[in-house]
Amino acid sequence: MKILIYGASSRIAHECARLWARDGHALVLCGRSADRLEPVAADLRVLADAPERVRTVVLDLADDLAARQTIADEDARAGGFDLLLVAHGWLPDQAAAQRDPAVLRAAIEINALSVAQLCEAAAALFEARQRGTIAVIGSVAGDRGRQSNYVYGASKGFVERYCQGLRNRLHAAGVAVVLLKPGPTDTPMARQLARPGRLADPRDVARAIVRAIARRQSVVYTPGIWRWIMTVIRWIPESAFVRLKL
Ligand SMILES: NC(=O)c1ccc[n+]([C@@H]2O[C@H](COP(=O)([O-])OP(=O)(O)OC[C@H]3O[C@@H](n4cnc5c(N)ncnc54)[C@H](OP(=O)(O)O)[C@@H]3O)[C@@H](O)[C@H]2O)c1
């Protein structure tokens, strides 16, 4: 496969890329910072049988039109991507997002708007050639708004609904849309949240993501227990939920 990863410097994406590199897939690692992408690329070139199968591309998501053009250009250069994995994300401090309009805006732009921009760029290409997979890392946090992180959770909730509509649109074209929903995972993003022992291992999460993409599954919780935890949380009546300190 020819794979484009946005947010390739993320710990979870890096672990996915290691699995793909070992299996001989070609990887274009994309993100906002060359300094952050290059160490990931260096690691993957050691694992890949042919180092030239791993490239990096710096792309600033703030410029919507330039981002779309860059993805089209990279797609042509690669000879047509088979898979886009959207993996970037930002967990803002909830209190700061309540206080500071710039934090609120940034959280929604990074976690929601830019995800849709990337997916639309790939959707146009994949729909035209009637094949491909778009995979997006959402979060269990998107399943229900909670006082402790509802700005992040709302942006991930957008991602879920967006992926649902995109999947419905692209089904007839044979293009799969896979939504991955990790629970708390031991990466730089989540270390502030819980003790490491209570976080999932990103290698396990990556294995589940790679498997879900290979199977073209629609929505996958990882670790799988989160499917049942979130089913219970979604079913709590709102009249009771408002009283909970979650
Ligand atoms: N870890 C968890 O507990 C958890 C749980 C559920 C869902 N997720 C989701 O999993 C995905 C991967 O996160 P991770 O846990 O692997 O975290 P991570 O290692 O901290 O990586 C975060 C990634 O997001 C990128 N990023 C942050 N702000 C950005 C911006 N403004 N523009 C472009 N890129 C930006 C970072 O780029 P730089 O390297 O350049 O900073 C990095 O690649 C995210 O979508 C996250 O929301 C994580």
Ligand 1 close to Cβ of residue 187 (< 6 A) = yes
What pLDDT does 198 receive? 86
Alpha carbons 112 and 102: distance in angstroms, whole number: 15
CA of 9 to the centre of ligand 1 (A): 8
What pLDDT does 192 receive? 75
pTM passes above 0.75: yes
In this structure, the residue with its CA closest to atom 39 of ligand 1 is 9
**Ligand 1 atom closest to 202 (CA):** 16
CA of 112 to the centre of ligand 1 (A): 13
Token pair 């790679």 is at which residue? 210
**Ligand 1 atom closest to 189 (CA):** 20
CA of 172 to the centre of ligand 1 (A): 31
Task: Kindly state the tokens that stand for 189.
Answer: 């993003």
Choice from 58, 109, 113, 187 to test ligand 1 binding pocket (greatest atom count within 8 A of CB): 187
Q: Which residues contact 5 (CB under 8 A, 6 or more apart)?
A: 13, 16, 17, 27, 28, 29, 30, 84, 85, 87
The identity of residue 152, as a single letter, is Y
What pLDDT does 196 receive? 63
CA of 129 to the centre of ligand 1 (A): 30
What pLDDT does 203 receive? 98
CATH numbers and ranges of domains, the chain: 2-241 (3.40.50.720)
Give, as one character, the DSSP assignment of residue 237: -
CA of 53 to the centre of ligand 1 (A): 24
Instruction: Give the residue ranges of the chain where pLDDT is below 50.
Output: none
- CA distances (Å), 186 to each of 10, 40, 148, 182, in order? 11, 17, 19, 11
Alpha carbons 119 and 127: distance in angstroms, whole number: 11
Query: From edge to edge, which strands make up the β-sheet containing 26-31?
Result: 54-58, 26-31, 2-6, 83-86, 133-137, 176-182, 219-222
